[in-house]
Amino acid sequence: MEIDLGANAFGIDFHPSKSLIATGLINGQLHLYRYDTESSLVRERKVRAHKESCRAVRFIDDGQRIVTASADCSILATDVETGASVARLENAHEDAVNTLITITETTIASGDDKGCVKIWDTRQRSCSHEFNVHEDYISAMTFASDSMKLVATSGDGTLSVCNLRTNKVQAQSEFSEDELLSVVIMKNGRKAICGTQNGILMLYSWGFFKDCSDRFVDLSPNSVDVLVKLDEDRLITGCDNGIISLVGILPNRIIQPIGSHEFPIEDLALSHDNKFLGSTAHDSMLKLWDLEEIIQGSNGDASGAAEDSDSDNDGMDLDNDPKPSKGSNRKTKSKANPVDNRAFFADM
């Protein structure tokens, strides 16, 4: 099923329990759609959320609110039932906010175009910590809940690992020749997979983040802009040629194509029951793909490699003061700031 949004869409997210999907548009609008098994998408509401493009969307508070981030540097919380603004932070970042993720029930993280990552405590309604480890935009983030570590990728070609227990940057990779655009954690926490602008998937072993342990080149030269984890052995890729593919990791192979847009993929998301995959692209279309047949047809085609036995080890390659590779003049030392007293989820 699909629907024309009327404008290019960036971030999308599914409700954690209901048949709802939210998407943020280039014109600053937030759209909320209801979907069903009868192959229909119906718009529930349209909200003028931001002055500039709405780049990221996330459901929080068990789906009661939607948080959006914008190029206008603001972050907004919107009530799902009414569409009313619950709270707005006009100057959440000094530069355009590019990505958002949910960390815990009461914590989210945001990343901006200058490489700054901020951690927001929704109970205290403020920014609790700030990390400035990257020299270019934050392209993607993911979270390892068992070890409380936030993994971020950047346009500067590096991956960083921030420990949210100690509020320190524990590791940063060597500088890659290309931008890192997307990231997921797989293999029961043993591997971090990054998509790059030149189409290579870079595999990092947990605890050994200085350099990648493996590369998968079959998607090259198409930029891998989005990664979504399906399970511990398979992920879904969205590339700038508009192709969406199911890919196996260790052994590395393209399992099968899922679908396509006419233009580059902007974002992907899985429904709460993994039945549907949502996709947006530069063609203004929101598409939902039924994954049941794909999942059933490929369950027997995903097996881990025996040699992939790396495990999480806090003592391995986790530097409190990560240094750049030899010859680089980039600054990479992190900065954890005191609590920011600016209200975030204060009532409007």
Q: Convert the pLDDT of each residue in 90-117 to its tens digit.
A: 999 999 999 999 999 889 999 999 999 9
Predicted confidence at residue 343, as pLDDT, reads: 41
Beta bridge pairs of residue 276: 290
- How does residue 335 score in pLDDT terms, banded at 50, 70 and 90? very low
> Mean of the per-residue pLDDT values for the chain?
87
Cα distance between the two ends of the chain:
37
Could you give the CA distance from residue 256 to residue 201 in angstroms, rounded to a whole number? Answer: 16
Percent of the chain with pLDDT over 90: 78
Predicted confidence at residue 346, as pLDDT, reads: 42
Phi-psi region of 83 (alpha: psi -120 to 50; beta: other; left: phi over 0): left
Q: Is a pLDDT exceeding 80 seen at residue 337?
A: no
Place of tokens 């949004």: 5
| Stretch 216-243: mean pLDDT | 97
Cis peptide before 251 (omega within 30 of 0): yes
- How does residue 323 score in pLDDT terms, banded at 50, 70 and 90? very low
- How does residue 77 score in pLDDT terms, banded at 50, 70 and 90? very high
Predicted confidence at residue 52, as pLDDT, reads: 97
Q: Is a pLDDT exceeding 60 seen at residue 332?
A: no
| Stretch 28-55: mean pLDDT | 93
Predicted confidence at residue 301, as pLDDT, reads: 52
Predicted confidence at residue 289, as pLDDT, reads: 94
Phi-psi region of 283 (alpha: psi -120 to 50; beta: other; left: phi over 0): alpha
* Higher pLDDT among residues 31 and 308, named by residue: 31
- How does residue 164 score in pLDDT terms, banded at 50, 70 and 90? very high
Q: Are strands 20-25 and 29-35 parallel, antiparallel or unpaired?
A: antiparallel
Q: Is a pLDDT exceeding 60 seen at residue 169?
A: yes
Q: Are 271 and 316 in contact (CB under 8 A)?
A: no
- How does residue 125 score in pLDDT terms, banded at 50, 70 and 90? confident
Q: Is a pLDDT exceeding 60 seen at residue 132?
A: yes
Predicted confidence at residue 256, as pLDDT, reads: 93
Ranges 167-171, 193-197, 309-313, 336-340: which has the least confidence: 336-340
Q: Are 149 and 142 in contact (CB under 8 A)?
A: no
Ranges 34-38, 93-97, 230-234: which has the least confidence: 34-38
